[in-house]
Amino acid sequence: MCRQNLLRRKSRTFLTVLGVIIGCCSIVVMASIGIGMKEAQERLLSQLGDLTIITVTPPQGGRGKQKLDDSFLTQARRLDGVRAVTPKLTLDGVSTSLLTGVNNRFQADWSTICAYDLTQLESMGYQLLEGRLPQKSGEVLVGQYFAYNFKDTLRPDGYNTIDRYSGEPDENGNYPQAPDPYFKPLSQNLTISAETDTESYPFSYKIVGVLKEDNSKGYETSDGVIMSLSDLQAITAKVKKGGGAKKPEYGSVLVKTDGLASVAPVEKTIKTLGFPTESMESIRKPMEEEARQKQMMLGGLGAISLFVAALGIANTMMMSISERTREIGIMKSLGCYVTDVRTLFLLEAGAIGLIGGLIGCFVSFLASTAINFFSLGAPAMENLLPAIVGGEGVNRVSVIPLWLYAFAILFSIFIGVGSGYYPANKAVKIPALEAIRPG
């Protein structure tokens, strides 16, 4: 019966549904652009640094009794929301050279050398491309492009290095695939020669793993060496004559939280312990607030269209009641309950909202796909799938999560039912005898 009533005036129903489609589509597309802006900001921040990592440093000027030592590590690991904690040491103020290959054929004049608590690396988000994590002293990890630091000492100058940035970048700034380096670092023996003004101290290591490049973690994942804390402290103690203390104090400690929501409370707790902190939270929060305001503004513009559609639904239902006064009277005379009459009109109004919401979501999907497709550069079929589902390195202008589709459909039904509530109540108040009396 509800379907028959809607199809009785096809043109009026179509125009009313069209209003809901336009309103729903406006809300979804506008909100999706706001979500796309937020994702673009988070992607930009993640390139600058890991959003869930807090860097802790010693109190400035050595004030207070707080020391950034093992006791702090224990305290930090007990905090709620903390996933992993590791000190970070770097070999600073020491001139180094690196040697590898048969008879030390390959040589590098520099490299970033860092030390972490290697048991925490996986929890910190570092990824292995190949090999395994070090399990004992003398085993190290190297960055993904570590081998490109080296020159071949058996070749003449000018022809003894391989540039991984050879070739011209494409329109997105991506370079062609790098040529193979002179050697594969995995399983190679590595000698790090730490040099002072008067002496040179060689330290031998075995490369057991290669890390995936992630500049948000640090440049050492690209072309550096990562070793255990004890190994780096041994270098420092040897070269700096006593630089490795029995109870070491750290220059910085990295604290990784289990999510963005935990960053602010964990950082606040660490500050109450007397330690300065740095994180991306101070940058992310204002940007997130700005994105939220823009999202609300865009969603509000879309909501105006849906409000106009609500007026259209109310008008359609009022017109329907005036045309079906006799029908309403007959239904009451036949014993239909007041709630049955009200339910019938609410179902019709809700059906208009549901149909408009479903079609509006489909149109929104097509509009979002088109926006992303043309924003990815020259129209090409290979851009179609990234325009729909995104992916690593894909910057979509419009992003529609599943919850937004569900919200739009439910909101359209709510608008439909809400708009039909007053006409439905008016319908049940029509006296039956007056309604069936011939005009």
pLDDT at residue number 153: 92
Closest CA to 385 of 397, 373, 374, 375: 373
For 302-325, what is each residue's pLDDT tens digit? 778 777 777 777 777 777 666 666
pLDDT at 243 over 60: no
Q: What percent of the chain has pLDDT over 90?
A: 30
pLDDT at residue number 131: 93
Better-scored residue on pLDDT, 317 or 348 = 348
In 3-state terms the chain splits into helix, strand, coil percentages (rounded to 5) of 50, 15, 35
pLDDT at residue number 256: 93
pLDDT at 393 over 70: no
For 95-146, what is each residue's pLDDT tens digit? 889 999 888 999 998 889 999 999 999 999 899 999 999 999 999 999 999 9
Distance CA 35, CA 356 (A): 23
Enumerate the H helices of 9-142 as residue ranges: 10-48, 70-77, 121-124
Compute the C-alpha angle 400/405/406, nearest 5°: 140
pLDDT at 327 over 70: no
What burial class does residue 142 get, using C-beta atoms within 10 Å of its C-beta: 0-12 exposed, 13-18 middle, 19+ buried? Answer: buried
Distance CA 25, CA 356 (A): 9
Distance CA 188, CA 207 (A): 6
| Mean of per-residue pLDDT scores for the chain | 82
pLDDT at residue number 246: 55
- pLDDT bucket at 257, cuts 50 / 70 / 90: very high
Cβ-based neighbours of 147, under 8 Å, separated by 6 or more: 181, 182, 183, 184, 185
Other CB atoms within a 10 A radius of the CB of residue 334 amount to: 8
Q: Per-residue b/e over 216-247, b at no fewer than 16 CB within 10 Å?
A: ebbebbbbbbbbbbebbbbbbebbeeeebeee
Secondary structure of residue 331 in the 3-state scheme: helix
Q: First and final CA of the chain: distance in angstroms?
A: 25
Per-residue pLDDT, averaged over 234-250, amounts to 72
pLDDT at residue number 326: 66
Distance CA 250, CA 67 (A): 8
Helix (H) or strand (E) holding 212: none
- pLDDT bucket at 203, cuts 50 / 70 / 90: very high
Per-residue pLDDT, averaged over 40-55, amounts to 79
Distance CA 20, CA 75 (A): 56
pLDDT at residue number 340: 74
225-228/253-257 β-pairing: unpaired
Cβ-based neighbours of 108, under 8 Å, separated by 6 or more: 97, 98, 149, 150, 151
pLDDT at residue number 169: 65
pLDDT at 346 over 70: yes
For 48-99, what is each residue's pLDDT tens digit? 677 889 999 988 765 556 788 889 999 999 999 999 999 999 988 888 899 9
pLDDT at residue number 138: 92
Length of the chain: 439
Distance CA 30, CA 295 (A): 7
Distance CA 92, CA 251 (A): 11
Per-residue pLDDT, averaged over 262-280, amounts to 90
- pLDDT bucket at 211, cuts 50 / 70 / 90: very high
pLDDT at residue number 107: 93
Closest CA to 63 of 365, 353, 207, 275: 275
Please, what sign has the CA dihedral across residues 169, 171, 173, 176?
negative
Place of tokens 């590898």: 100
Per-residue pLDDT, averaged over 198-207, amounts to 90
pLDDT at residue number 232: 92
Maximal C-alpha separation, the chain: 117
Domain boundaries, the chain: 2-47+285-436, 50-87+252-279, 95-239
- pLDDT bucket at 172, cuts 50 / 70 / 90: low
Instruction: Tell whether domain 50-87+252-279 is in CATH 3.30.70.
Output: yes
Distance CA 233, CA 238 (A): 8
Please, what sign has the CA dihedral across residues 333, 334, 335, 337?
negative
Better-scored residue on pLDDT, 314 or 367 = 367
Q: Which of 5-9, 160-164, 202-206 has the lowest mean pLDDT?
A: 5-9
pLDDT at 413 over 80: yes
Q: Which two tokens stand for residue 66?
A: 């707080």
- pLDDT bucket at 421, cuts 50 / 70 / 90: confident
Distance CA 411, CA 405 (A): 10
**Long-range contacts of 48-51, Cβ-Cβ distance < 8 Å, separation of 24 or more:** 48/216, 48/280, 48/283, 49/216, 49/280, 50/125, 50/216, 50/217, 50/256, 50/280, 51/260, 51/263, 51/279, 51/280, 51/281, 51/284
Give the alpha-carbon dihedral of 56, 281, 223, 139, to 10 degrees: 40
Distance CA 220, CA 143 (A): 6
Q: Which two tokens stand for residue 40?
A: 């673009």
- pLDDT bucket at 295, cuts 50 / 70 / 90: confident
Helix (H) or strand (E) holding 187: none
Q: What percent of the chain has pLDDT over 70?
A: 83
